[in-house]
Structure 1
């Protein structure tokens, strides 16, 4: 046998011996590839579940924060509207106080740091043009202080509440000074130019009302023939 023929025969014999091992490796690779193509491992599923849980948690937290913020804004808006309405009630009634009472049954204007009494042309229900004895009161409560209203036809009504303890009335005189009582001088029959309801506590209050209507409207009489 020649040398080349011997080498060729040896190469073929070596390939024949290695063929079973090569086929086993290919079969293992094909099996692994087949498993990868048909499903996920348990670790991959756990990772996906964790990520989905984290994303869901963040979304729910953001949604809850948005809802709570919206509720707080609504409550704040409602409270602001209520406070505006309360101030309008106080302003409209207080502006209608008159200086000269039409008869002896009417009350002249008097004021202290906690009480205002006088004759007004407008009551809390909106009835206008009829002189009515009217009072505003600052009263202490368990939570702070409140502003109450009363008149000849309306029982005492709570108009507003504040978490404060130094709410008070002050009266602007014609000399530009603020007074804690009115009249500022004994025998003075004028009403103040304005009334200030204020508090400097954690819940500040600053309601200033200019009293513009200082005369009762004249009553005209007619004779019919």
Structure 2
């Protein structure tokens, strides 16, 4: 009797049955599958967010360059004899002399620049050129600021009365307004809201700058 009881005890304490082992393997496989799925989803979300951040940063940088160049255009008249590139614009290009060149050579020295909308095969790109005293574009200064696919892109100009026009200077505009109050880049794409890049020009000769007293005291 003692031998039989010892044999039964040793057989029961020898390990797991086959069914228990199979159940443990199935549960472990399910946990690993759930964990791998969660990790894969997390990596996909992280990659998507990274791509979105890169795209967003590129757009913000392009808009900042666009605003820097145009906001610093000089209000020089064509008949002043001071420049060969007074501010002029149409729906497809803008020419001006700016103190905020994207590739400055002599600090903030004025540089004639040319922004143009180049339309190709289903794409429109915003091109940037710099000019030197001659009529040729400076070598190495031509590059693309932005590019859109299947989009209608155009420049628009607004005077100090808020009236938009397709050209600058306007034929019926004030002679004193050498610069527009606003420059707008309108971007229309299918199934997306219209985008408008708006730049206010700082060098504005139409309005007198506010007078300031020394030591931060203003005149009201």
What is the aligned partner in structure 2 of residue 13 from structure 1?
none
Paired residues of 2:76 and 2:82 also in contact (CA < 8 A): no
Residue from 121, 126, 131 that aligns with 1:152:
131
Give the drift of 1:56: 0.5
Q: Which runs of 5+ in 2 are unaligned?
A: 133-137, 206-220
Q: Which runs of 5+ in 1 are unaligned?
A: 1-22, 216-225
What is the aligned partner in structure 2 of residue 210 from structure 1?
200
Residues 60-69 or 33-42, more deviating = 33-42
Residues 178-187 or 159-168, more deviating = 178-187
Size of the aligned set, in residue pairs, is 190
Residues 43-52 or 125-134, more deviating = 125-134
Q: Summarize deviations over 1:141-197 as a string: whole Å, max 9, x none.
A: 446221111121443211112234111111111221222222222575422101011
Q: Which has the higher helix share?
A: 1
RMSD (CA atoms) = 2.6
Which residues in structure 2 correspond to 1:1-225 (within 5 Å)? Answer: 27=4, 31=7, 33-101=9-77, 103=81, 105-126=83-104, 128-142=107-121, 144-153=123-132, 154=138, 155-185=141-171, 189=175, 190=177, 191-201=179-189, 202=192, 205-214=195-204
1:45 aligned counterpart, secondary structure: helix
Give the drift of 1:57: 0.9
Residues 99-108 or 157-166, more deviating = 99-108
Structure 1 distance, partners of 2:148, 2:193, is 7
Structure 1 distance, partners of 2:31, 2:81, is 77
1:106 aligned counterpart, secondary structure: coil
Residues 37-46 or 134-143, more deviating = 134-143
Paired residues of 2:151 and 2:188 also in contact (CA < 8 A): no
- Residues 131 and 214 (structure 1), Cα distance of their counterparts in 2 relative to 1, 3 Å cut: farther
TM-score normalised by structure 1 residue count? 0.73
Structure 1 distance, partners of 2:66, 2:114, is 11
